[in-house]
Chain A
Amino acid sequence: MTVAGLARDRQLEKEAYNALAVVVDPELDEPVTDLGFVRSLTVHVEESGLGVEVHLRLPTSFCSPNFAWLMCSDAKDAITALPWAHRVVVALDDHHDSDLVNAGLAADADYKQTFRHEAEKDLEELRTTFRRKAHTAAMERCLTALLRADPGRPVESVGRVTLADLPADRHTAALLRRRAALGLPAGPQSLVLVDHTGRGYPPDRVPMTLRRARATRISIDGNAHFCRGLLRTRYPGSEADQAQRPEGAEPADVSYDPGYDPTFIPLSTLRKEHHP
């Protein structure tokens, strides 16, 4: 192959890798490219045109097969959508269902055809459940930040907080993305504490709603970091493929993540941002 050909392939590999950023682990609410789940991606010349081969890896052999399938089939869709990709191979490595999933992917079978008697309808309800949880967690991060910044503030009052009351920061941006995914309004007067249909809560139900949302946020952040850690243990060197996740970060993270900022300040002490 010519030097120019190699350079083109590297460029296309980069393009294909970036295309995988739309593939999200539904449970962790993060792109597979940030989690280090893309083990390899190669572009090569075949008789009919350009081929792309992607290998995905997960933190354990026993990660849920339904989530694994969603990520693999979404990855195949994302790469197939590239106009120059003629043949696309996506493979799941080292999983208890690798054979099943890879056969399904190779045959362009859908979820039901792949999992046969174990599949009933589809995985849309599963996706929806975790889309809602992602929104719940994003909402809690924003509101807890307000409460921590102003300890005298009554918890009930967060039921009246609107999008206009939130600072223009990372948490608010994340909340707006999650709202968009659920089709919730983004206007400045829209309430922040709402259920997945956009309905707010009367003051007496606000504290427990927030508490429950907090447990959801803790779960997602905890899982996201545990899964990252297990991947690093299972695949030494994979830390190089992981993006830092400030939410739920801990001091020990500095030991493996050269990009980790040890001066990172937990949510609780971000007062200046709200009260300059």
Chain B
Amino acid sequence: MYTKHGESYFIVDAHIALWDARPENQRNIHGKQFIDCFYDYHRNLSPESEVWPYEEYLYYGERLMKDLFEDGYVDHAIFQPALLGEFYHTGFGQTDEAFALAQQHPDKLTYNHCFDPRNGEMGLEQLRADAERFGLKGVKLYTAEWHGESRGWKLDDPWAYRYFELCRELGIRNIHIHKGPTIRPLDRDAFDVSDVDHVATDFTDLNFVIEHVGLPRLDDFCWIATQEPNVHGGLAVAMPFMHTRPRYFAQIIGELLYWIGEDRIQFSSDYAIWTPKWLVERFVDFQIPEDLTEYAPLTVAQKKKILGLNAAKMYDIPVPPELQLPDADEAETGPREPGQADLAGV
């Protein structure tokens, strides 16, 4: 909970991780390249006072609870693990450790797990077992996961559909999607989100949360999300732009509010890439610069929904009655009729 100027904000951090990228867990050079890439994101977008030493960034098991719940105002956080089994011996996200924390603090932590449709039938069995073991409400999918000769998959691959059908059966309703640089074939844009369009249409009873709101393809994300009421935007990676690129951040938020509305945007720190404390404080203080006249100012209600109420609703996380808010009207743009959806080339 964060309180400022008499307003209280219920905080759900919808994307956190507990990773181990220490050298002894790195399987190859790519393990180092991957964590170095994260660390550069961290150093580049964090205020200087919030930058961690590199050693601590590799593994931070002891400080997670403090960063989120003591210092970071977070009421509830959701693990969204990436496996990266080709880069790290025990994977990047530490399943047992994260799940143990979630079991110790069920009121504070939700554990989502991951699957890979390229694991075929055996993976389906594993997903069944995982759903039972972890009590899964959601999964995190990284489409650029390397897997032998394959370095990526698409959400509308036939095998992925088998997994979504099983998700439906098992009550795993919340599908978090993270796009990465590799996909098969490499001919196409790996960050393209058009496959989201297909699955969202075919699985209307599942929620698809597109992490980092489709960045670097905000435009494609907005266009798809406005047409599909079960597509949501996660603000991982987008939030920290508030610090050095506030005008860019203002435009991202302005576009999201225009295209998908205030009820389908979720705050996340992407911990430990960034820490929630400064993000929450700054977002509550944030306002759209006046000269960006195409956007209305952000309201307190919008900030409350984004910071926690939206994700709480998706995950049935109890929110004190005095902090709840009603839904807004449908976004100005949609959902539209499918026939109107073709603005070829724009």
Contacts and interface: CB of A to CB of B under 8 A. Distances in A.
Contacts of B294: 144, 214
A196 B248 CA distance: 26
Nearest to A130: B189
B189 A126 contact: yes
B186 A218 contact: no
Given A129-B189, A205-B343, A215-B255, A62 B248 contact: no
B222 interface: yes
Contacts of A246: none
Contacts of B217: 219
Given A214-B255, A268-B291, A219 B215 contact: yes
B130 interface: no
Interface string B247-262: 1100110010011000
Interface stretch (A6-14, A81-89, A170-178, A225-233): A225-233
A27 interface: yes
Interface in A161-193: none
A18 B190 CA distance: 30
B306 to A, nearest CB: 18
Contacts of A21: none
A211 interface: yes
A222 B188 contact: no
A122 B187 contact: yes
Interface stretch (B12-20, B35-43, B121-129, B321-329): B35-43
Interface stretch (B156-164, B165-173, B177-185): B177-185
Contact of B41 (A215, A221, A230): A230
* Number of chain B interface residues as a range: 35 or more
Contacts of B190: 64, 66
A115 B189 CA distance: 15
Contacts of B218: 215, 218-219, 222
Interface in A215-251: 215-216, 218-219, 221-223, 225-226, 229-230, 232-234, 248, 250
Contacts, number: 150
B33 interface: yes
Given A27-B216, A65-B181, A215-B223, A60 B244 contact: no
A209 B292 contact: no
* Number of chain A interface residues as a range: 35 or more
Contact of A60 (B40, B247, B293): B40
A117 interface: yes
Contacts of B293: 148, 151, 268
Quick one: which of A94, A125, A126 has the most chain B CB within 10 A? A126
A186 to B, nearest CB: 18
A212 B182 contact: no
Quick one: which of A66, A144, A232, A252 has the most chain B CB within 10 A? A66
A96 interface: yes
A136 interface: yes
A64 B259 contact: no
Contacts of A123: 186-187
Contacts of A223: 215-216
A190 to B, nearest CB: 16
B271 interface: no
Contacts of A132: 345
B197 interface: no
A120 interface: yes
A261 interface: no
Contacts of B182: 64-65, 118
Nearest to A205: B343
B187 A218 contact: no
Ranked nearest first, the 3 interchain pairs of A and B with the lowest CB-CB distance are A195-B345, A61-B33, A120-B185
Interface of A: 27, 59-66, 69, 94, 96, 115, 117-123, 125-126, 129-130, 132-133, 136, 144, 148, 151, 195-197, 205, 208-209, 211-216, 218-219, 221-223, 225-226, 229-230, 232-234, 248, 250, 252, 266, 268-269
Given A222-B248, A233-B44, 17 more contacts: A60-B40, A61-B36, A63-B181, A64-B181, A65-B186, A94-B33, A119-B185, A121-B187, A126-B187, A195-B345, A196-B344, A205-B343, A214-B255, A215-B222, A215-B259, A222-B251, A233-B43
